[in-house]
Amino acid sequence: MAHRGVMVVSAPGSNQYVKRRGRVAAVTPLASLLVQAGSAVASAVALDYTVQPPDDDQVVIQALAVLSWSESAETQQAVAVHPLCPVSVLRRLSDSPRDEVCVAVAGNPGCPDDVLDRLARREWAYNFKETGRRRVAYHERTPAQALLYLAKASVSAKGQIEGQVAIGVARNPGCQPECLRLLLERGAQPVRRMVLSNPSCPLEVLQRQAVNGDWEDRAAVASNRSCPPDLLRQLARNASASVRTEVAYNPATPTDMLVRMVQDRHQNVVNAALVNPALPAATLAMWQLAHGGASRHR
């Protein structure tokens, strides 16, 4: 039944929940209601709806623990992606035979590293293999050995390491030098670019590719937040405007170089320098004065 936009739905055993503008406003008693009301109510609560009393994480955690036993795959997925989902529940759901539930577990920011390691090696069904492995590859908690496994598992028929899973591994800050070197040696160009822009990329690799790489490699090095100032100074003088633009965007670029780059002959370089938070305020003010009060957004 509905009262002025508020829908009150009765569950078996005379329990009720109130739904106002798509949010659960009251649940009494919690465990009994969740079990009896079915997957529709379960999914609503699991998807981070407000449960009475408000701002009480323990109530939400209790609800998630109860909901995780639902037979509905949709409800289990909603529980698995919830940021308050307990680790014990994530561990149990990661053993589910349902790949869609395991994909949801791999996407939870709090997923523990041992679970991610196991999911990296899971025998996924064909239609979930790419999605499941990609979630693990992009997760910041994925351990180094799991990332190396995924990199080696991404070798194509052409002998190259390629695809979205490999790109996720290459950009993961937890990727170790051994894995990054493998990806740089055998990776397709998009994978190589991610390796060179990864803050964990070894310094000697950045230095070598800044000299010997093509303009795409140099642009990737220039975008790396861990690139040392002397190397950024070198790349700031590169003939390619694309490389100089990446230097101008990089917040690690020395301020004196940014001041010079505001005067670059290529407009993309100038625009990048103007939005760099490291650009001195005085330089910005002078540029605005010289250009009729034009402004930029940081």
Domain ranges of the chain: 1-72, 86-201
pLDDT computed for residue 4 by the predictor: 33
Burial 134-149 (b: 16+ CB within 10 A, else e): bbbbbbebbbbebbbb
pLDDT computed for residue 291 by the predictor: 82
pLDDT computed for residue 295 by the predictor: 52
Terminal CA-CA length for the chain = 50
Place of tokens 């190396």: 148
* Number of neighbouring beta carbons within 10 Å of residue 274: 22
pTM of the model: 0.77
Cβ contact 32:14 at 8 Å: no
pLDDT computed for residue 58 by the predictor: 81
Handedness of CA 242, 243, 245, 249 (dihedral sign): positive
pLDDT computed for residue 106 by the predictor: 97
Query: Residues in the chain, how many?
Result: 298
Tell me the three state secondary structure of residue 151: helix
Radius of gyration of the chain (CA): 25
| Per-residue pLDDT tens digits of the chain, which is 298 residues long | 332 332 333 333 333 343 333 444 333 344 444 444 444 445 455 544 444 443 567 878 888 888 899 888 998 999 999 998 999 999 999 999 999 999 999 999 999 999 999 999 999 999 999 999 999 999 999 999 999 999 999 999 889 999 999 999 999 999 999 999 999 999 999 999 999 999 999 999 999 999 999 999 999 999 999 999 999 999 999 999 999 999 999 999 999 999 999 999 999 999 999 999 999 999 999 888 888 765 554 4
Q: For residue 235, how far is the Cα from the chain centroid?
A: 28
Beta bridge partners of 6: 3, 20
pLDDT computed for residue 80 by the predictor: 94
**β-pairing verdict for 16-20 and 6-10:** antiparallel
Q: Quote the CA–CA distance of 37 and 152 in Å, as a whole number.
A: 46
Q: How many helices (H) does the chain have, and how many strands (E)?
A: 19, 4
Containing H/E element for 166? helix 164-171
pLDDT computed for residue 30 by the predictor: 46
Separation in Å, CA 66 to CA 36, 38, 43, 172, 240: 11, 12, 12, 34, 58
pLDDT computed for residue 247 by the predictor: 98
